[in-house]
């Protein structure tokens, strides 16, 4: 691991912006900005309760989960065509590239959209085309992880998996998202076993609001390689020891945790403690349009609140590549670029 020289607090935001990084926890539907949502609504003749972009943007300011879910649902209703999904993903990838994200593993779900009468092909083909174009347009790699919605049934998750099988080559893996409490990971153990047999990579949201037992279950019942969120792990020393020993990554989303009141303030966030414990923690934006910032805003605000420094920045960026599912050669190339930025930063 590279030992980096200290950087002044004034220069640290520039370093955080310049360093190459991977984003591993970002729901594409949660990147839909008000301007694009409004434009897609007009394009598709979808009536909304907001007369203009400004009133729609004001609805993005919420202080409880239900208000977030309401506006999030409105956003999904304007997505009707393959081009809509392409435009949404392209907008995120352009923004991520500006933040020096060189690799993105993007969450999406089909169950929301098939519930609106769309086909899985419309959803996946649009998103995948944007990922392919990002290589030429932005010089970045991007891939897709299908999330099952855990508040729905195991049967519906199986149906979702079967529906996407003809498009298997366009998927990197599967995950588990939506309302956590009351829907433990083991509910989907058989679905994940089927996905694993198909060669898909496995991740799951666990330990965001639910207790550490959900993280144990994601590891042991679902056999995931990576935990999304996982911040409740600090409540269980045995779990912390396992995560550190087995190098099981956590994709942490600080501004999301703040917005949904997992932590009262950013200064009370446990990202620093996770790093001190040797956990492969990463920083991500979750639903950036709604939760107050894209990946670099997560970095800069969290670093300021926790008084983290250049070595932490290097560790988190390095962790993001280690935690990714890219092949070893590309991983090495990205880490070489990361090292170069830290070695030459003034």
338 Cβ contact list (under 8 Å, min separation 6): 19, 20, 21, 314, 317, 318, 321
CA dihedral 24, 119, 38, 22 (to 10 degrees): 10
How many angstroms separate the Cα of 72 from the Cα of each of 69, 145, 183, 284, 289? 5, 19, 21, 19, 10
Residue 149's CB: how many other CB atoms inside 10 A?
19
**Full DSSP string of 141-204:** EEEEEEEEETTS-HHHHHHHHHHHGGGGGG--EEEEES--TT--GGGGHHHHHHHHHTT-EEEE
Strands (E), 207-302: 226-229, 250-252, 281-283
Orientation of helix 82-98 relative to helix 120-138, angle to 10°: 30
Instruction: Please tell me the distance from the alpha carbon of residue 80 to that of residue 89, in angstroms, as a whole number.
Output: 14
In the block, tokens 């956990």 appear at 279
Q: What is the H or E stretch that residue 107 is in?
A: strand 101-108
Instruction: Return all residues near 43 (Cβ < 8 A) that are at least 6 apart.
Output: 84
- Backbone CA torsion sign across 186, 187, 190, 195: negative
What is the separation, in whole angstroms, between the first and last Cα of the chain?
A: 20
Return the residue matching tokens 């007369």. 51
Residue 39 burial (10 A CB sphere; 0-12, 13-18, 19+): middle
Active centre residues (catalytic): 208
């Amino acid at each position: 691991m590279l030992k980096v020289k200290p950087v002044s607090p004034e220069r640290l935001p520039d370093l955080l912006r310049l360093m190459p990084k991977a984003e591993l926890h970002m729901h594409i539907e949660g990147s839909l900005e008000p301007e694009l949502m409004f434009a897609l609504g007009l394009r598709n003749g979808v009536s909304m309760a907001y007369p203009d972009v400004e009133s729609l943007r004001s609805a993005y300011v919420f202080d409880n989960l239900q208000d977030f879910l309401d506006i999030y649902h409105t956003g999904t209703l304007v997505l009707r065509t393959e081009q809509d999904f392409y435009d949404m993903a392209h907008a995120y990838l352009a923004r991520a590239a500006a933040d020096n994200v060189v690799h993105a593993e993007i969450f999406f779900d089909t169950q929301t959209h098939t519930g609106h009468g769309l086909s899985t092909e419309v959803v996946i083909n649009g998103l995948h085309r944007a990922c392919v174009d990002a290589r030429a347009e932005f010089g970045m790699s991007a891939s897709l992880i299908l999330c099952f919605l855990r508040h729905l049934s195991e049967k519906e998750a199986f149906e979702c998996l079967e529906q996407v099988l003809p498009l298997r080559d366009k998927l990197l893996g599967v995950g588990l998202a939506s309302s956590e409490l009351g829907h433990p990971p083991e509910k989907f153990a058989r679905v994940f076993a089927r996905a694993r047999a198909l060669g898909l990579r496995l991740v799951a949201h666990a330990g965001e609001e639910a207790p550490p037992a959900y993280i144990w279950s994601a590891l042991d019942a679902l056999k995931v390689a990576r935990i999304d969120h996982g911040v409740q792990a600090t409540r269980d020393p045995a779990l912390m020891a396992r995560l550190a020993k087995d190098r099981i990554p956590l994709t942490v989303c600080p501004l999301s945790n703040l917005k949904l009141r997992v932590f009262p303030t950013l200064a009370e966030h446990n990202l620093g403690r996770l790093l001190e414990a040797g956990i492969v923690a990463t920083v991500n934006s979750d639903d950036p349009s709604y939760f107050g910032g894209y990946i670099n805003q997560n970095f800069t605000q969290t670093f300021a609140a926790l008084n983290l420094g250049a070595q932490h920045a290097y560790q988190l960026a390095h962790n993001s590549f280690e935690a990714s599912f890219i092949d070893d050669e590309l991983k090495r190339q990205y880490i070489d670029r990361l090292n170069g930025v830290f070695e030459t930063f003034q």
